[in-house]
């Protein structure tokens, strides 16, 4: 089975921070939880796509489905989910 770590670790969260916001540790915990929620919704779709049509089908599904999942989670939580290449990045109020 292909390892999806590079694809999934390409996700990032941007979290707005104000003087009254939660501590960095709390924000990082929220970001991790939201990332896990995203992965939990995307991973089964990718696994199904791999079974049905292989890697190229999984990439097509990811391109189509991942942004919709990210948009829905952003709307639900107020946090912006964005994609970066290579590593997970947690920005303080900056869009990727």
pLDDT of residue 26: 86
Q: Is the predicted pLDDT of residue 74 greater than 80, yes or no?
A: yes
Residue entry with tokens 């989910």: 81
pLDDT of residue 93: 53
Q: How far apart are CA 48 and CA 82, in angstroms?
A: 24
Q: DSSP states of 8-57 as a string? A: HTTEEEEE---TTSPPHHHHHHHHHHHHHHHHHHHHHHHHHHHHHHHHHH
Mean pLDDT of 30-38: 91
Q: Is the pTM of this model over 0.75?
A: no
Q: Is the predicted pLDDT of residue 51 greater than 50, yes or no?
A: yes
Q: Is the predicted pLDDT of residue 79 greater than 50, yes or no?
A: yes
**Would residue 94 be called left, alpha or beta, if left means φ above 0 and alpha means ψ between -120 and 50 degrees?**
beta
């Amino acid at each position: 089975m292909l390892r999806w770590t590079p694809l999934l670790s390409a996700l990032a969260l941007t979290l707005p921070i104000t003087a009254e916001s939660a501590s960095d540790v709390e924000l990082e915990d929220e970001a991790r939880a939201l990332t896990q929620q995203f992965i939990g919704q995307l991973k089964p779709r990718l696994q199904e796509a791999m079974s049905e049509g292989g890697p190229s089908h999984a990439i097509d599904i990811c391109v189509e489905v991942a942004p919709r999942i990210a948009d829905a989670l952003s709307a639900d939580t107020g946090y912006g989910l964005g994609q970066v290449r290579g590593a997970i990045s947690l920005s303080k109020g900056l869009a990727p």
